[in-house]
Amino acid sequence: MRNRKRVVGAALMALALVAAACGSGDGSADVPEGPTITVASFNFNESTIMAELYAQVLEANGYPVARKLNLGNREVVKPALESGEIGLVPEYVGTLLNFLEGTPSADSESTWQAAKAEFEKTGVTLLAYAPAQDKNAYVVTAATAASLGVSSVSDLQAAASTLVFGGPPECPEREACLKGLQEVYGLDFSEFKPLDSAGPLTVAALESGDIDVALLFSTQGIIEAKGFVVLDDDKGLNPAENLVPAIRVEIVDAYGSDLVDLLDALSAKLTTEELTALNRRADVDQDDPADIARDWLTANGFLSS
């Protein structure tokens, strides 16, 4: 009887261990060891969608993740990344290199390499960039385009002194915003109105005529939905602006190639056309960024349906 009890007890113990390992459903047995990855975003929809893409694919593969979404503009996010307050953020290669005091170009590879080399001096590196690009777009209504006869940014020169330009508060200091429009195109607008980062305030101001020219983003679905006209950047003010994960070096060192390969695979599948479609769901349909990201990851095989 003692031997039988011993066998039954051992069997029950084995079953309990199996249940503990397999029955929780939280994937804890496969969680990689390392620091929590705090994923952040800038304060506009596309950045939040991208941050959710990164966060959800990492969570699905067992990485510990925290979020700090809509953290602010680059003046807030970049120091937070460099200090280690956050660990991962979607970036744009050209604008980033400008902020790192480099000179970006229309060539994605050389701009990425230069930005990566500079950022690594601060403990942050760049993973592979996506084919998807999102550039600053200088936008007018169809009525304004027709009345002024404009189709390019250069065409604004004759009327600029009578026009109001609207964009994010930091626009006057940005190379691809008001500063560049003045230096490259010689445009001196009658007034600058600080609004938001290509968000609803800017869209509403353009639509109502409160501003004449707006800074929006080239992948925003709201541009087509509202019938706005994107003026051709005929002097090439905007550099390459591929989406790229910017991540703390210590996180890459902790998790190694598995993490890098996972995020690189995600980036490789993201095209400009798909990014525009994702943005339309947020800007026009008012869908939640987390739902938008989950749907894309599922459709592309990163999450199970």
Domain CATH number, residue 68: 3.40.190.10
Angle among Cα 36, 45, 207 to the nearest 5 degrees reads: 165
Residue 305 is assigned to a structural domain of this protein? no
For the CA atoms of 130, 132, 134, 135, the dihedral, rounded to the nearest 10 degrees, stands at 90
Pair (146, 157) in one structural domain:
yes
Pair (127, 44) in one structural domain:
yes
Residue 11 is assigned to a structural domain of this protein? no
Pair (128, 254) in one structural domain:
yes
Which of 169, 199, 230 marks a domain boundary?
A: 230
The predicted pLDDT at position 231 comes to: 98
Residue 181 is assigned to a structural domain of this protein? yes
- The set of residues, in sequence order, having a beta carbon less than 8 Å from that of 105 and lying 6+ positions away, is 111, 239, 240
pTM for this structure?
0.84
Domain CATH number, residue 221: 3.40.190.120
Pair (59, 117) in one structural domain:
yes
The per-residue pLDDT for range 130-182, each reduced to its tens digit, is 999 999 999 999 999 999 999 999 999 999 999 999 999 999 999 999 999 99
Residue 14 is assigned to a structural domain of this protein? no
Q: Determine the structural domain holding residue 62 and report its residue range.
A: 31-133+240-299
Pair (127, 38) in one structural domain:
yes
Model confidence at 12: pLDDT above 50: no
HEC string for 27-82: CHHHCCCCCCEEEEEECCHHHHHHHHHHHHHHHHCCCCEEEEEEEECHHHHHHHHH
Residue 5 is assigned to a structural domain of this protein? no
Pair (86, 204) in one structural domain:
no
Pair (155, 270) in one structural domain:
no
Determine contact, residues 229/155, Cβ cutoff 8 Å: no
Pair (123, 175) in one structural domain:
no
Residue 7 is assigned to a structural domain of this protein? no
Specify which residues 88 forms β-bridges with.
39, 247
**Which of the four pLDDT bands, split at 50, 70 and 90, describes residue 30?**
low
Pair (207, 63) in one structural domain:
no
**Cα–Cα distance between 260 and 126 in angstroms, integer?**
10
Pair (226, 273) in one structural domain:
no
Which of 230, 261, 282 marks a domain boundary?
A: 230
Pair (105, 181) in one structural domain:
no
Q: What are phi and psi of 267, to 5 degrees?
A: -60, -40
Report the number of distinct structural domains present in the chain.
2
Residue 19 is assigned to a structural domain of this protein? no
Between 23-37, 65-79, 92-106, the lowest mean confidence (pLDDT) is in 23-37
Specify which residues 65 forms β-bridges with.
37
The per-residue pLDDT for range 36-80, each reduced to its tens digit, is 999 999 999 999 999 999 999 999 999 999 999 999 999 999 999
The predicted pLDDT at position 1 comes to: 33
The per-residue pLDDT for range 170-229, each reduced to its tens digit, is 999 999 999 999 999 999 999 999 999 999 999 999 999 999 999 999 999 999 999 999
Pair (129, 153) in one structural domain:
no
